[in-house]
Structure 1
Amino acid sequence: MAKQRGSCNSGSSSSRGCLSNLKCKCGTDAVDADCGFFKWIGGVREIGDELRFQLFEKETTIAELEMQKQIVEEKVKKLQLKKENMEEDLQELKAEVSQMRIELMKSSRNEKNFSLALMLSWVLFGIIVMYLK
């Protein structure tokens, strides 16, 4: 007849943990092979149920991680599209800035030409006024 030291509940993760709690009628631990003691620890059905439950937990974890991976991949795709759009906008802005610089240089040249023309016209006006006096 076997005695148990402590309790071995069916919720334990391993049936080996239960073996260390069992004692043979001769007083040795149940893991002692010399004694010849034998007792099923939980039925095969209980072990199978526990293994199926563990498998279900692992599959659930895998499914959750796959969903999280899919969400992250979708976010990455959205960010890549945003990046591409921003790069296109940046190129357009660079082109606009270049065009504005060209126009600014042209207007600066025109301003200098107009200033020079104005000065010459005043000088010419001054010469004509002096000549007519």
Structure 2
Amino acid sequence: MVGKWQSSSGSSSSFAREENQKIRCSCGKYAVDTQCEKLRWVDQSNPMEDLQYHVLEKETRICELEYELQCRDDKIKILQLKKDNLEEDVQEMKNEVYAMWVEMMKCSRNKNNISMALVFSWIFFAVVLFYLKF
């Protein structure tokens, strides 16, 4: 803390001297009530304590940021693993689709071959029937 209020035990003459002056904190702000005879402003700032406090604040913030960075790195690793697994799944699906397409093409060829065989068999049957009648 930069400054605090302290109980006044001084005489009324010392207070009368301070009464005309505005009491300030070390931060530069004026005390709220300078009319009170029981309280007065006492500056207790210690530059070394202030610096230690600021260093502690900065170290705490650095630790918080390092923790957040570690959490992000962990999330990135997890997402990378998920991405790799999904890429493998997609590649497997592509291979399955290609295999199905090849099978479909084979079936289509077989269907065309069967259709052609059926047409030729009917033609052959018609020719044989025509030849047997004459």
Q: CA deviation at 1:131?
A: 3.4
Q: Distance in 1 between matches of 2:82 and 2:92?
A: 15
Q: CA RMSD in A?
A: 2.7
Point out 4+ residue stretches in structure 1 off by more than 2 angstroms: 127-133
Query: Deviations for 1:29-74, whole angstroms, at most 9, x for unmatched residues?
Result: xxxxxxxxxxxxx67x822211111111111101110110011001
Structure 2: tracts of 5 or more residues without a match: 1-20, 30-42
Count of equivalent residues: 105
Which AA in structure 2 matches 1:61? R
- Which residues of 2 match residues 58-77 of structure 1 at below 5 A? 58-77=58-77
Structure 1: tracts of 5 or more residues without a match: 19-41
Aligned to 2:51: 51
Q: Distance in 2 between matches of 1:128 and 1:83?
A: 66
Q: Distance in 2 between matches of 1:118 and 1:5?
A: 115
TM-score, normalization by structure 1: 0.65
Q: CA deviation at 1:109?
A: 1.0
Q: CA deviation at 1:5?
A: 6.5
Aligned to 1:8: 25
- Which residues of 2 match residues 105-120 of structure 1 at below 5 A? 105-120=105-120
More strand by share: 2
TM-score, normalization by structure 2: 0.65
Q: Distance in 2 between matches of 1:117 and 1:6?
A: 113
Q: CA deviation at 1:132?
A: 3.8
Q: Percent identity?
A: 46
Which AA in structure 1 matches 2:24? S
Which AA in structure 2 matches 1:7? R
User: Which one has more relative contact order, counting CA pairs under 8 Å at least 6 apart?
Assistant: 2
